[in-house]
A and B are shown apart, each in its own frame.
Chain A
């Protein structure tokens, strides 16, 4: 199967602290991968290297057929092809929901306002909030804001979507609406990498689960295998904590 992301021997340090330690991971087009692990294990840093938000020191990162340069010089080439959803939503508070979605397609892809708007409305309908298009982000609930963030990323029609703990900042009762949106998206065949602690989502959607600790990939397995018969002690301990 053709690969969408390929990380080879990726190393990254923050000063003298090694956050990513010899990471090797290949993700095929259409594949859904969930990354989990304790906090500080390097999961967020890993996906931030995939869309060139973070520079790295050694190894290679290949995304959508483009080799990411270590210093991030070709970052925008990657970023226009890769969508990202953040824990804190990071919607632009000064722009309406619709403008949040259309800004990048207009400025980066050179779409006309009309084209961008109809595309944005299409994705806002997909995340089931077209009626909020003219509102400002501050007028929406957290769950709605995160769904707008998903629509905003999708309006760029990315080849790959990254999710960095998309439900961690949400009230428990709205987590499901965001997860349902992500499940819907997965069903369309989008390639997805999700950093999340939502193990139910991992079981339902993931093709593979990656478990990380201290900057290393400890275990990669299908969800069935990962949850029922984890091989490493560290994974068992983590699962016992997370699944309770």
Chain B
């Protein structure tokens, strides 16, 4: 009978510290990446819906190239490829954050674009009939309704993307996945370590989902089921 030895994780203080730091790194990367990626995504979605080809075509090309390539390739490209050309050295955390932001932005952009397309035409027409200009119509009428419509999808995407962030441990960012491997490499208790990681990721996902859903109810109070 296989005997479970979770204490092999707790008994070394350095293991516990790595786990806690890992959670901090994963969560802060996700929050930063989520917010910056969302802002990029918003810009991309607007550009992709634009009538100006100079905005629309590059943004569509960017979105499609991100959505049709693996995150790990994008990550290596940003961490090792780009620095060769532009001759910069960033800490791995920053490179990983950039890669995640670029990746998230493409997925968010597509969801937000779906939201734009789902706002009834009558809404912008009524706004025009009141004399509102294009920018006001976008900012005050179309955008809030578009975001409200796709908010649940944005939350799901956020949580899904959180679960893919473990890949950044490949470039040496000491996130939660990296901490798990660090511990398992030293105490050989892979089963216990990855059970703990599984529970940690699941809990964090549930917390993210809960917080984001509650935030949505505050931000979009009209958007409730009747």
Contacts and interface: CB of A to CB of B under 8 A. Distances in A.
Interface of A: 51, 53, 75-76, 79-84, 86, 88, 90-95, 103-104, 107-108, 136, 138, 152-153, 156
Contact of A79 (B131, B136, B141, B144): B131
B131 to A, nearest CB: 3
A108 B132 contact: yes
A94 B223 contact: yes
Interface stretch (B11-19, B72-80, B121-129, B165-173): B121-129
Q: Which 6 A-B pairs have the closest CB atoms?
A: A80-B131, A90-B126, A104-B130, A84-B129, A79-B131, A90-B122
Contacts of B127: 92, 104
Interface string B124-151: 0111111111001000110011001000
B132 A107 contact: yes
A80 B132 CA distance: 8
B128 A94 contact: no
A92 B131 contact: no
Nearest to A137: B222
Nearest to B124: A90
A166 B165 CA distance: 53
Given A79-B128, A138-B226, A92 B133 contact: no
A156 B131 contact: yes
B10 interface: no
B220 interface: yes
A79 B120 CA distance: 20
Given A53-B125, A138-B222, A138-B226, A92 B132 contact: no
22 contacts: A53-B128, A53-B129, A75-B128, A79-B130, A79-B131, A80-B130, A83-B129, A83-B130, A84-B129, A86-B126, A86-B129, A92-B123, A92-B127, A93-B145, A94-B148, A94-B223, A104-B127, A107-B132, A107-B136, A138-B222, A152-B130, A153-B129
A103 B129 contact: no
B148 to A, nearest CB: 6
Nearest to B144: A94
A88 B121 CA distance: 11
Interface in B100-136: 120, 122-123, 125-133, 136
Contacts of B133: 76, 107-108
Interface residues of B, number: 23
B129 A79 contact: yes
A86 B122 contact: yes
Nearest to A52: B128
A51 B129 contact: yes
A153 B148 contact: no
A76 B133 CA distance: 7
A88 B127 CA distance: 14
B218 to A, nearest CB: 14
B122 A108 contact: no
B131 A108 contact: yes
A120 to B, nearest CB: 12
Nearest to B148: A94
Residue from B125, B132, B222 with most neighbouring chain A CB atoms (10 Å): B222
B222 to A, nearest CB: 5
Nearest to A80: B131
A147 to B, nearest CB: 15
Interface string B11-52: 000000000000000000000000000000000000000000
Contacts of A53: 125, 128-129
A109 to B, nearest CB: 8
B27 to A, nearest CB: 31
B130 A108 contact: yes
Contacts of B132: 76, 103-104, 107-108
Contacts of A81: 131
B152 to A, nearest CB: 16
Contact of A103 (B128, B140, B148): B140
A84 B179 CA distance: 62
